[in-house]
Amino acid sequence: MLSSTNAITPNGYIRFRDYLQKVCGISLSDNKQYLVASRLGKVLEREGFSRIEQLVDALERIGSAKLKEEVINAMTTNETLWFRDVHPFTILKEKVLPEMTSAPLRIWSAASSTGQEPYSISMVIEEFKSTRPGALKAGEKIVATDICTNILKHAKQGEYDSLAIARGLGPDLQRRYFEKINDSTWKIKPALSARVEFKHLNLIESFSMLGKFDVIFCRNVLIYFTVELKQDILKRMHAALKPGGYLFLGGSEALSGLSDYFDIVQCHPGIVYKAKPR
């Protein structure tokens, strides 16, 4: 594999960093040459490129859609687990869902990765309905989106190996909501996956076609964007929320300068943001 010294020149790194931010919003700092080299080394070798500039040249040519998709897939971080951070899902079950009684419930998982988040949401809905017969009679829909096409294929299959299934998922929920395919593979049950629809989406582009939502989960993805892009996305998410709808962010993410758009709801532990009417 090509080393970062040979392939990732200073000028080439700047060009690639600018390209990546333009096409998908990911903002790399000045010292991530090693990350680019490790994730794109195989692509550079396969294409016969000795320098990152040659890759950028190829990406900017007409007809580079497949190469662009491969590069974005390689540069996307897909770290996830079941019920990540726990309290957002507790807030969803104990505070948010009891308020959703009349219209069909629509939830958006805006960085769904390999599916753990939307399927965790589906489990929460199932648990909530089991304790409140007749609740959510109008139905529920979870729209799960991600920029990484390879990851979406995995998520749609709903199959997980023994290591992935154990990350944040207790044995009781595993038995209740998964079917064992073989000694090392489990598949989410149809009752859970039926309410989840996966779509490819780049958050820097318009998502108005998705419609309106009662709840949006946008967790642990905004940290990769610039402040300006993050604010733009959050304003557009506000527009995608129904009046009084809820927005969940990651534990290290916070709203800044958007007090006209959202109220902070303290839940002890955790917080959620409620869309103000505008």
Q: Which residues are catalytic?
A: 39, 146
Phi, psi of 4 (to 5 degrees): -65, -30
Structure tokens of 115? 């599916």
> How far apart, in Å, do the first and last CA atoms of the chain sit?
53
In contact, 180 and 186? CB cutoff 8 Å: yes
Residue among 206, 226, 225, 186 at smallest CA distance from 145:
206
| Residue that the structure tokens 């662009």 belong to | 68
Structure tokens of 139? 């139905």
Collapsing DSSP to helix, strand or coil, 36 comes out as: helix
Q: What is the rounded distance in angstroms from the CA atom of residue 85 to the CA atom of residue 9?
A: 39
